[in-house]
Amino acid sequence: MPDNYSVTKSICTLFLLAPIFSLFTCQQAEIHEEKSNDYQVAAYIWPSCHHDERFGEMLWPEGTGEWEIIKKGTPRFEGHYQPKAPLWGYELDDDPEVMEKWIDAATDHGINTFIFDWYWFGDGPFLENSLNNGFLKAKNRDKMNFYLMWANHDVKRNYWNVHKYVDDESILWDGAVEMENFKIIVDRVITRYFKQPNYYRIDGKPVFSIFALWNLLEGLGGIEEAKEALDYFRAETHKAGYPGLHLQLVVFGSPNEDMVNNIKSLEFNSVTKYNWGWSKQQDYIKWATNAVEQRDQWDTSLTIPYFPNASIGWDDTPRFPAKGEADIVRFNKSPESFAASLELARKYCDDHPEQPKLITIFSWNEWIEGGYLLPDVKFGFQHLEAVKTVMDGTYDPYSK
């Protein structure tokens, strides 16, 4: 079944194969009557497509960041869309004029927040200039909120450039940091970013998301030490004049007792997902259904907000030559299926009026992993239009 399967069958299959999607009843087929502007629709930005001064020569020597790898994507089966081809060309994400175009496209289609993946490797920042030189220097930056997701995961040498490092799976960067570095990070984040007038806050508290709890614990030395470090972060944020700090954790899979206990002990304020996971699930509908089931499990396991995630797709084959069709979400993947999933995320927000209406989306520009809202030569603006129709209340699956 090709990934451009007909809209009608895709939508029908969406309801037949995924019981959870039966939330769309005949009564819910009516178009939303009121347009609500209190949703925060936040798309992740993977800021890799520019030359990084610290590590660019070593990692992506051609000087265009990860475009170097994206362009080398190869099809693994008949009809496999690789390499991905951006409609606007291979633009550098640290260019403020490029970011101005992104901001206009996002806000025109109902996306009002960017979440920047933010890195700290080798005792210093990495890939920061998409934010510093691109977004923060864009003339229209005040149209968008933004916040940081500290991507504190490890990186193997051949993960971000398999063509250069081939079979070398040794660790290039360890994402775990000790308290000395953590304090530098806290100061940098507060003084450079929290002070920005469009930094996203909940109840006045700047939101800071953390990707890898396991590395946070490893670097700081355990749960008690991590608690002390996060308390320090909270205290420093308060000293800087804010009512507090909103700590968000990225979670994976389904909850277990240890994870839930750690989240409670460290007093995280909310959880969300980066995407729906990397399991070998070829069918978008089953992938989405599993994600909703996990969402409900997290919702019942925690007393803090779970912010729903909508994911567009998964295809990271440009990074991994050995991967094939079993590793790609390719069946029933369409802008219409994505719209249905985003509508479920919106409904979840409506069903939880006690919490902010924040939805995270994977992603704005993850070309290398097959999940992006930016227009390409295959779908054009269809994924962006899907966001617009869902978030402005005009989405109606029965009109297709």
- Position 210 confidence tier, pLDDT thresholds 50, 70, 90: very high
Residue 323 has pLDDT above 90, yes or no: yes
- Position 8 confidence tier, pLDDT thresholds 50, 70, 90: very low
Which tokens in the block code for residue 388? 């617009």
* Burial label, 305 (beta-carbon count in 10 A; 0-12, 13-18, 19+): buried
The pTM (predicted TM-score) of the whole model is 0.91
| Distance, CA of 73 to CA of 50 (rounded, Å) | 18
Residue 36 has pLDDT above 90, yes or no: no
Task: Provide the 3-class DSSP secondary structure of residue 202.
Answer: strand
Strands (E), the chain: 40-45, 113-121, 124-126, 145-150, 155-156, 171-173, 201-202, 205-210, 246-250, 270-272, 309-311, 358-362
Instruction: Give the pLDDT score at 14.
Output: 42
Residue 42 has pLDDT above 70, yes or no: yes
Where is pLDDT greater, at 170 or 35? 170
Residue 78 has pLDDT above 90, yes or no: yes
Instruction: Give the pLDDT score at 5.
Output: 38
| Distance, CA of 379 to CA of 43 (rounded, Å) | 18
- Per-residue pLDDT, averaged over 252-265, amounts to 97
Instruction: Give the pLDDT score at 398.
Output: 79
Backbone torsions φ then ψ of 288, nearest 5 degrees? -70, -40
pLDDT above 70 covers a percentage of the chain that reads: 90
Domain spans, the chain: 7-12+38-393
Instruction: Give the pLDDT score at 170.
Output: 97
Instruction: Give the pLDDT score at 224.
Output: 98
Topology annotation, domain 7-12+38-393: TIM Barrel (3.20.20)
- Position 32 confidence tier, pLDDT thresholds 50, 70, 90: very low
What distance, in Å, lies between the first and last C-alpha atoms of the chain? 20
